[in-house]
Amino acid sequence: MRAIAGVFALTFLIAFGLPATQATAADRKITDFYGSYTGQSISLKGEGLSARDLSVRIKPNKQGFNITWNTVTHKKGGKAVRKSYSIDFSQSPRKNIWGSAVRRDAFGNMRPINPLNQGDPFVWATLKGDTLTVYALIIAEGGGYELQTYARTLTADGMRLNFTRLRDGEQLKAITGVLTKNK
């Protein structure tokens, strides 16, 4: 009888009386990531990686959100190589998974790229806890694959970036960066 009374009391408290708790990482929303961030890559000695300046902007758009990121790689001799990417994402039917829309169709609507076309990546984003991850899958000429992963984890003053590049399961590159949120 005590067990039944205990279950009833617990059920009552859950339904009517427990105070709301603070939001946890599991409760993160894409809006928590909105903003502009700047920083640098961190590389370990002996890895042969050049220093990189990093910037990321995440903002809302009509379909969902947009991520724009820039990487400036500083080569020996003072040469700088800049790469920029901007991708719109829209909510998929599955919670916390967004599909990319990176090409306009004949009607001006953004559409995903076909990964079976030569060199076109299939891109999607997921949100889990404090981390927003963007995946880019490229099907290689011979049928193998390359997977690039950009995991952006919120921190107290900005975000941490963990980038990996795999080809057919072999890690080719890993870069970590620390970015501060701009005011």
40 domain-assigned: yes
Give residue 104's pLDDT.
64
Give residue 31's pLDDT.
96
Question: Taking residues 107-132, what's their average pLDDT?
Answer: 80
User: Distance (Å, rounded) from C-alpha 41 to C-alpha 160?
Assistant: 10
Q: What is the pLDDT of residues 135-165, one digit of tens each?
A: 999 998 888 999 999 999 999 999 999 999 9
User: Distance (Å, rounded) from C-alpha 28 to C-alpha 19?
Assistant: 19
User: Distance (Å, rounded) from C-alpha 6 to C-alpha 86?
Assistant: 55
User: Distance (Å, rounded) from C-alpha 152 to C-alpha 144?
Assistant: 26
User: Distance (Å, rounded) from C-alpha 87 to C-alpha 127?
Assistant: 16
Give residue 74's pLDDT.
83
111 domain-assigned: yes
Name the residue range of residue 87's domain.
Answer: 25-181
Give residue 183's pLDDT.
87
10 domain-assigned: no
Beta strand ranges found along 15-95 (DSSP E): 35-42, 52-60, 64-74, 80-91
1 domain-assigned: no
Q: What is the pLDDT of residues 53-96, one digit of tens each?
A: 999 999 999 889 999 999 998 888 888 899 999 999 998 899 99
Split into its structural domains, the chain has a count of: 1
- What CATH number is attached to the domain comprising 81? 2.40.128.20
Count of all residues that appear for the chain in the document: 183
Question: Taking residues 112-120, what's their average pLDDT?
Answer: 69
